[in-house]
Amino acid sequence: MQRTSSTAVSAAIGASLLALVVVASPVPVLQAQAGPDVQAAVDAAYAKYKGLKEGKNADYIPALAKVDPNLFGIAVVTADGKVYTAGDVKTEVSIQSISKVFTMAQVIQEQGLESIEKRIGVDATGARFNSIIAIEGVRSVVGTGAPEMNALVNPGAISSTSMVTGGSADAVWAKIIGFHNDAAGRPLTVLEDVYKSESDSNQRNQAIGALMFAYGYIKTDWKQAVDLYTRQCSIGVNAKDLAMMAATLAFGGTNPVTKKQVMDSAKVPGVLAVMATAGLYDDSGKWLYHTGLPAKSGVGGGIIAVSPGKFGIAVVSPPLDDAGNSVRAQKAMADISNALGGNPYALAKKN
Ligand code: DON
């Protein structure tokens, strides 16, 4: 695997500083060297994987099967709020399971790290994201009695949505979409065709919601929780939005462009830990082994990944592998992160 050969991201992060140097310096070439390393990595991954045809759009939600499988967009956001892109970063897809991260983050922000840990758990299930057997077979952590589950598989995610407080469905929804908007740095909207399509075909999630209520994980109206969960999964995002949301997590809960503090920095590591544990479902270990990055995929074709303190990255490409993760997104993100020295477990190579 290709490893980092330079401190490219640090260079990019310091680009604005260098720009100041450039003004006073007789060697303006410095600026040209500092910024484009990120862009070069993004461009290289785009060129390498543009023609890759592996994988298949999700079709268990009928609207997802109709999305153009050739859609391919990459975005990276660095600490200075600079956005590096390639391909189509404007077309929106449904956020799907990536929303689970931000609803979990919202609950953690409001109710503390222990709220999610106690009610849902922060352990891998080893089962598929919508497994019902995982609910039946859930074990408890010795001592605390907390379930060995997490907020990134459907049972935990629907429960997490049910934990967002509010006097009405509209009030809960306003908080959920508000948190997503703040992380993305712009107002997002629901893709109504996807919402309708998933609402018409989400009997399995309804069964999961009912079971989670029956077993006491959901303590409020489970039908409302499933509906709001379906709505949050239908939020429309492009690659740039997703990269900005990832960057908000990469920079301690503060959106690097709007500078809004979306969540307390002390709570962000807990969110990243669950992403590292379960962000790519059954393939989370494999992904972490190769990249070291907390990440989250969605069946709409997006994946976000976070290199803490360095960058947020996202790719949108609808065709998925057997585990439900975008094929091109995984490959492109791994290449870019490795080129930029994004793996938090790897020591930066000294030049
Ligand atoms: O609940 C579902 O099945 C979808 N709304 C979300 C699933 C998903 O994105 C899983 N991702 N890899």
What six digits make up the tokens of 48?
């390498």
Nearest to 176 by CA among 122, 233, 252: 233
- At residue 349, the pLDDT reads 62
Q: Which one-letter amino acid corresponds to residue 269?
A: P
User: Would strands 302-307 and 311-316 be described as parallel, antiparallel, or unpaired?
Assistant: antiparallel
Q: Give the orientation angle of helix 98-111 with respect to helix 169-184, to 10 degrees.
A: 110
Q: Which residues line ligand 1 (CB under 6 A)?
A: 96-97, 129-130, 154, 198, 205, 233, 297-299, 324
> What residues are paired with 93 via a beta bridge?
237
In this model, does residue 30 exceed pLDDT 90? no
For residue 209, the surrounding DSSP H or E stretch is helix 203-214
In this model, does residue 29 exceed pLDDT 50? no
Q: What is the position in ligand 1's atom list of the atom closest to the CA of 298?
A: 9
83-92, 118-127, 264-273, 296-305: segment of lowest average pLDDT: 118-127
Q: Are the beta carbons of 87 and 336 closer than 8 angstroms?
A: no
Total residues found in the chain within this entry: 351
Nearest to 286 by CA among 345, 335, 337, 334: 334
350: confidence class by pLDDT, cuts 50, 70, 90: low
What six digits make up the tokens of 217?
């994980």
pLDDT in tens, 63-75: 999 999 999 999 9
Q: Which residue has the tokens 């975005």?
A: 75
Q: Which one-letter amino acid corresponds to residue 73?
A: G
Question: How far is the C-alpha of 199 from the C-alpha of 188, rounded, in Å?
Answer: 19
| pTM, rounded to two decimals | 0.90
Of 299, 317, 322, the one to substitute when testing ligand 1's pocket (max ligand atoms within 8 A of C-beta) is: 299
- At residue 348, the pLDDT reads 75
Q: Are the beta carbons of 103 and 158 closer than 8 angstroms?
A: no
